[in-house]
């Protein structure tokens, strides 16, 4: 019979000698590059994800942060993702929006009525960031869009 204390001590010793796998280090660096220091995070409202079309190719998602609401319609087609969005209230003159995936960021101006659109994104992880002059950026949490 093995003593639990000896077994746990052996596990601790062994864990300290194994190097971190290269894929873990690489993935950690990739995630670190995606962060936005000091950004305010808008969280997803769980009840807002719903299909808009009968074929389930389009979904509405709402994210809310203090002072801003993001309404996104995400459409899947031909293996790519299109995002049509509305930010309210209007974030002001000179406001920009970044629609980000881990490998691509597309920047758009926000119209005076709060709308923006991006087409041709790869499926996978997606986040939207609103940049307002004189304010901290507001970002949505990352959501995974699958075709």
**Structural domain tally of the chain?**
2
CA distance 27 to 32: 9
For residue 108, give the H/E element and its range: strand 104-109
CA distance 57 to 79: 11
State the CB neighbour count (10 A cutoff) for residue 77. Answer: 12
Residues 58-83 have pLDDT tens digits of 889 999 998 899 999 999 888 899 99
Q: What's the pLDDT at 13?
A: 73
Q: What's the pLDDT at 18?
A: 62
- Do 71 and 139 fall into the same domain? yes
Give the count of alpha carbons within 13 A of 14, CB side only: 6
Q: What's the pLDDT at 2?
A: 60
Backbone angles phi, psi at 67, to 5 degrees: 95, -15
Domain region containing 14: 4-33
Q: What's the pLDDT at 56?
A: 63
pLDDT at 110 over 70: yes
């Amino acid at each position: 019979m093995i003593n639990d204390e000896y077994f746990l001590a052996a596990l601790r010793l062994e864990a300290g000698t194994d190097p971190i796998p290269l894929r873990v280090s690489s993935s950690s660096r990739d995630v670190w590059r995606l962060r936005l220091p000091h950004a305010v995070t808008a969280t997803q409202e769980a009840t807002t994800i719903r299909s808009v079309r009968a074929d389930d190719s389009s979904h509405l998602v709402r994210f809310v942060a203090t002072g801003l609401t993001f309404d996104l319609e995400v459409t899947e087609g031909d293996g790519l993702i299109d995002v049509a969005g509305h930010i309210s209230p209007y974030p002001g003159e000179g406001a920009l929006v970044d629609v980000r995936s881990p490998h691509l960021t597309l920047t758009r101006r926000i119209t005076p009525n709060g709308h923006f659109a991006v087409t041709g994104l790869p499926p996978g992880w997606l986040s939207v960031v609103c940049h307002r002059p004189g304010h901290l950026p507001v970002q949505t949490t990352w959501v995974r869009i699958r075709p």
